[in-house]
Amino acid sequence: MLKKIIILSCLCTFSAFVSASNEDWQANVSLSSVRDPHIAPPKTLVPKQSVQMTATVWMPEKVNWFPQFPDWDMPGATIVSMFMLSPSIERSHGSFTQRGATQNYLLTPLSEGALRLNQTSVTVYPEQKSSPILAFAPISVDVAMPPGAGDIAQFLPATDVKVTQSFYLLAGDKQEQELDADALKGLTLKSGQLIERRILIEAQGIQGKLIPTIPPESQVAEHQSEATDIINYDEFIGGTRTEHWYYSAQHAGTIPLKAVNIRWYDTDTSEFRTSKLDGVILKSAVANTVKPAIQLTLMEKLALLPDKTWRWICFAVAIVGVVVIFHRRMRQLLRKAGQASVQWIKTSPKIQFLWLCLHLMVVGVKNSQSRRHYQYWRLKYLTGKAQHAALAQWSDAAYGASDIRYPGRFRVIRGIIRQRATMKTARFTFWHPCALPPLNGGIFGEADKTVVITNSRQSSSPSVLQTQEML
């Protein structure tokens, strides 16, 4: 109950502050130059010429809530919030003191004509029904292209423009190497090398994305462009655009790099100016060889299929799945195929080898089942008497003296892998593996052979299996 009373009292206090006399609340929106907020912008702007718009709300001194500025809209122009909300300011208004909150914006016209701001008032607290609505003088700007400006897409208005260029050598995976004028004259471009011509345009008073790109010449093998804005904490300065032109050895001889002329409009003097970059002649030794087309993998080809093709594939797979499920003969074939797959997994030497390694990795070498798996696998699939040192130590630890340490599981697995690589695998026919001689039979007309597994703790021999031939 006490909590509700406190919240209700706060709301009443806020409503009382908000419902103060309209004389205690004012709103002001003004335009100024981006270089100096105390200088008014020219009466007629040119497209892409940015100005600063400042919105201020004055409120009673006791109000502690900052106002919420609207989403400004001016057809034919962009308005971007550039700077953070300024700290609270104060002024004397008659017999009382007012607090103020200011927000700065960057207004950039993009078309000609008389552009007008749609908003003529500020609702200080939109979520409150009793919020003051503060009217301000309408804001409009006149925009016109200067005579002889040409296309607006290639129009560059600014207070100052600086253009520079630099050259870099790129060869394989090596780091790019900047070249001075002397190194560039003595360089001969070879196959597999690239020369990058990097042109930097720095313009004041215009956003970087509005600086027009420079059309590349025909010799350029690849072209890239990027734009950024220059902001000094709370001050908009301008923008930059960087052009990356790449040249390769397309033929033997020379590669002429044209001079670059950038025409721009000085908004301070209302005159057109031109910034120039000198051209360069590159030497080329050999032409680039055309590399064969890259062969795509199956997964890469599938990734290039359009969505419509994938829909048809999914539909066909669904139809085939329904037929397979409901057709009796198909079910029988699938059952036989599944049984054959299971049988293949049980009898495959590779699967048995992987299962042995996995079992050793999970269970360890001290487990008796692991040793039986190894013995079965060695008798069934491998022939020969050679044993890896790790496997011999494993046998000694399991069947020999009790003071012999077990080798690590990964050392045993490496020994099994090396033994499998050095020993011959039992021969297989097309249908099934050849039968191994029985442990106690004379199927080949030879004398009976008896395999006796003895405990080597009672014998001086460390071997796991001791085979005695009894004639």
Q: Average the pLDDT over each of 186-200, 243-257, 341-355, 417-431 and give the range with the smallest value.
A: 417-431
CA distance 25 to 124: 10
Better pLDDT: 451 or 46: 46
Q: In what order do the strands lie in the sheet with 260-266?
A: 157-158, 260-266, 271-277
pLDDT at 452: 36
Reported as a single tens digit per residue, the pLDDT across 49-58 is: 999 999 988 8
Reported as a single tens digit per residue, the pLDDT across 86-135 is: 556 778 766 678 888 888 899 999 999 999 999 999 998 888 888 888 99
Q: Average pLDDT, stretch 444-449?
A: 36
pLDDT at 295: 67
Q: How far is CA 290 from CA 24, 234, 287, in A?
A: 76, 52, 9
Q: Which tokens in the block code for residue 120?
A: 């003529």
The overall average pLDDT reported for the chain is: 77
Helix H or strand E encompassing 113: strand 113-116
Q: Which tokens in the block code for residue 450?
A: 């008896």
Better pLDDT: 427 or 182: 182
Per-residue confidence band for 358, with pLDDT thresholds at 50, 70 and 90? confident
pLDDT for residue 290 is more than 80: no
Closest CA to 160 of 297, 292, 43, 262: 262
Considering the four listed CATH numbers 3.30.450, 2.60.40, 2.130.10, 3.40.50, the one that applies to the domain covering 17-143 is: 2.60.40
Domain boundaries defined on the chain: 17-143, 152-284, 309-346, 348-469
Residue with tokens 């790099």: 257
Reported as a single tens digit per residue, the pLDDT across 256-284 is: 888 999 999 999 899 999 999 998 888 88
Reported as a single tens digit per residue, the pLDDT across 389-402 is: 888 888 888 887 77
Q: Average pLDDT, stretch 180-184?
A: 85
Per-residue confidence band for 139, with pLDDT thresholds at 50, 70 and 90? very high
Q: Average pLDDT, stretch 411-436?
A: 62
- What percent of the chain has pLDDT above 70? 77
pLDDT for residue 296 is more than 50: yes
Spatial CB neighbours of 390, under 8 Å, sequence gap ≥ 6: 407, 411, 412, 414, 415
Q: Which tokens in the block code for residue 304?
A: 């290039």
- What percent of the chain has pLDDT above 90? 24
Q: Average the pLDDT over each of 77-91, 213-227, 302-316 and give the range with the smallest value.
A: 77-91
pLDDT for residue 143 is more than 90: yes
